[in-house]
Amino acid sequence: MFLASRWVLGFGIPFAIVNASSLIGELAFAKERAIMTSLFNASWFVGAIVAAGVTYGTFQMTTTWAWRIPSLLQFVPSFCQICFMPFCPESPRWLVSQDRGEEAYAILHKYHSEGEDGEEFVRLEYAQIQSTIAQEKESARAFVWADVVRDPPMRRRFLLAAIVGFFTQWSGNGLISFYMKKILNLVEVFPYQQRSKGIAIEQLTVRFAVFFNTYVNPVALDRIGWKYYIVYCVWILVEIATVYMFFPETHNRTLEELSFMFEGRDVQDKVQSNITKQLELGPVGEDKVSGVEISDTKV
């Protein structure tokens, strides 16, 4: 029963991780995105501490409630998620892609209009979203997994996703404890259309790395003991060098500014030109939504 339930949990958790991390990355203000996505990862420890406390209090019980209580308590956070999910805002980028620009602008205004220049920032961000999604629809056909190999910018994005997945589990932490994966950069370096697929690739490589930790680490520790830690110390130096040389800087930049950072200069110039045109067409909230009637918003 526990093996079957573990399979169900393992099958469902990546769906929650991929969607929740993408939404947090979109709703967070640019300068606060790293903090918010870090809190998403760090929240795992809150649940881990609570779970450890509960099992510590029940493991000495001699009845079947020793395992029933921890199992039943797992229902509480799931129930809370279901209750609060209707209050979560939609993804602004998804709304724009579905021709619901007025709703998208309202969400951006609610969460991103900070300070004296808040209104102007929201207008610029909305124009960036419209331009970026329009460019993605224009330049990219329906995504096929072969694009991961034949398209150089997409190949680099997915390679970074795979590297992050392996690095987060092959840094020695598998010898000490298990913790949630870092997904900060993955939300940022992928275009809207491929963002969830990129995080899914990261989750897949994490599972491969965990498989390695499960079946290789115990054997190595049994054979060479503490010297096995030296392997990870050297490997961490390789990770640092890889991140320094190949990972882009994403600090304090909007998702749209990062969407085409791996593309050619001509694509970036076209996106910037479209953003300028969107801004010149008029402010949102008067009689237009970036130049299109509110009642018929088009990307």
**Per-residue pLDDT tens listing for the chain (299 residues):** 777 777 777 777 777 877 888 888 888 887 788 788 778 877 878 888 888 899 888 988 888 898 889 888 988 888 998 899 889 899 888 898 888 888 999 998 888 887 666 788 888 888 888 887 877 776 655 556 666 667 777 777 777 777 776 776 666 555 444 433 344 444 455 655 566 666 677 767 777 777 777 788 788 888 888 788 888 888 888 888 888 888 777 776 666 666 666 665 666 666 667 667 666 665 454 444 444 333 333 33
Q: Token pair of 201, please?
A: 């690739």
- Classify 246 in phi/psi space as left (phi over 0), alpha (psi -120 to 50) or beta: alpha
CA distance 236 to 172: 8
What sign for the dihedral angle of Cα 250, 97, 26, 196?
negative
Q: Using an 8 Å Cβ cutoff, are 24 and 4 in contact?
A: no
CA distance 286 to 120: 14
